[in-house]
Amino acid sequence: MNTNKLSARLATVADHVPTGARLADIGSDHAYLPCYLAKNKGIPYAIAGEVAEGPCQLAERNVLAEGLSDVISVRLGDGLEVIQNGEVDCITIAGMGGALIASILENGKEKLTSVKRLVLQPNISAISIRNWFINNNWELVAEEILEEDGKIYEVLIGEKGDPYKPYKNNKTMGLLVGPYLVQKQGQTFKKKWRTEMKNWQRIYEALEGAAQSPENIEKKQEILEKIKLAEEALSYEDS
Ligand code: SAM
């Protein structure tokens, strides 16, 4: 991967950044994504935010090497604190857990006033982001799922709107597996949820063999509910 050729995961994120957007890429690490977008998609302005010094220096070096310092401002800081109010209209956050992404959005809510689109790529727990969208009036407008190097990734795109719109009859299932992904029923989607189900079944069996404490019983119940939702998702037919 470099600033001309992104991984399939980051290329999918890039595909959903509108041409000409003023972007903040939070947790930018190497800054490949903003560099790629500046070179290939007419991004006139971007902030590459990084909380860790090493990756921030790497981002700075890459931006300098590409001659993009006039377009991309590399900033050291936690989450959305690197953005001034009104500075950007699109934010990307990729390659972290969904709970961390949701907490970055939650802690920087006041910076979202001018933001029209969020493009988020959680490595795990996409449900945390779908829940955050529901609680903060962001509408999930599109979802992608892809496999790269044996790992399955989801990309969630949000815009301000009606947070309940994507969820038809089974909101609980939609929040877990994705309301658009369940309708598409692609091979990667099926692989993900068959694998998750197998993992949960293994955990359930291990819990069955352990002492039946109240916590154990509650955990088993939670797992059974998730297995049921995944089963429903895999046999979903659009009505
Ligand atoms: N976004 C790149 C990608 O998808 O390839 C880098 C992903 S890397 C695994 C996650 C990066 O997020 C790390 O460089 C880490 O330091 C940074 N990070 C984690 N928490 C952060 C936060 N609260 N604010 C800014 N950056 C953060």
Domain extents in the chain: 8-166, 168-239
- Output the CA–CA distances (angstroms, integers) from residue 162 to 51, 93, 95, 151, 167, in the order listed: 32, 22, 27, 31, 10
Nearest to 25 by CA among 40, 7, 8, 38: 38
Atom nearest to 103 CA in ligand 1: 23
Query: pTM of the entire structure?
Result: 0.96
Pairing of strands 117-122, 151-160: antiparallel
Nearest to 182 by CA among 123, 229, 135: 229
* Structure confidence by residue, pLDDT tens digits, 8-27: 999 999 999 999 999 999 99
What are residue 49's DSSP bridge partners?
26, 75
The sheet with strand 22-26 has its strands ordered as: 72-76, 45-50, 22-26, 90-96, 117-122, 151-160, 138-148
Residues 6+ apart with CB under 8 A from 32: 1, 2, 3, 6, 10, 62
Answer yes or no: is pLDDT of 41 > 80.
yes
Answer yes or no: is pLDDT of 98 > 90.
yes
Q: Is the Cβ atom of 48 under 6 angstroms away from ligand 1?
A: no
Which of 57, 75, 96, 151 for mutating ligand 1's site (highest number of atoms within 8 Å of CB)? 96
Q: How far is the CA of 185 from the centre of ligand 1 (A)?
A: 30
C-alpha to C-alpha distance for 220 and 56, rounded to whole angstroms = 43
pLDDT at 56: 98
20: phi then psi, degrees, rounded to nearest 5: 80, 5
Is residue 239 very low, low, confident or very high in pLDDT (cuts 50, 70, 90)?
Answer: low
Q: Is the Cβ atom of 166 under 6 angstroms away from ligand 1?
A: no
Q: Are 102 and 77 in contact (CB under 8 A)?
A: no
pLDDT at 4: 83
pLDDT at 170: 87
Q: How far is the CA of 29 from the centre of ligand 1 (A)?
A: 6
Topology, domain 168-239: Helix Hairpins (1.10.287)
From the candidate CATH numbers 3.40.50.300, 3.20.20.70, 3.40.50.150, 3.60.130.10, the one assigned to the domain spanning 8-166: 3.40.50.150
Task: Return the axis-axis angle of helices 53-65 and 32-40, rounded to nearest 10°.
Answer: 20
Q: How far is the CA of 195 from the centre of ligand 1 (A)?
A: 27
Is residue 212 very low, low, confident or very high in pLDDT (cuts 50, 70, 90)?
Answer: confident
pLDDT at 232: 94
Answer yes or no: is pLDDT of 95 > 90.
yes
**Mean residue pLDDT across the chain:** 96
* Structure confidence by residue, pLDDT tens digits, 151-199: 999 999 999 999 999 998 789 999 999 999 999 999 999 999 999 999 9
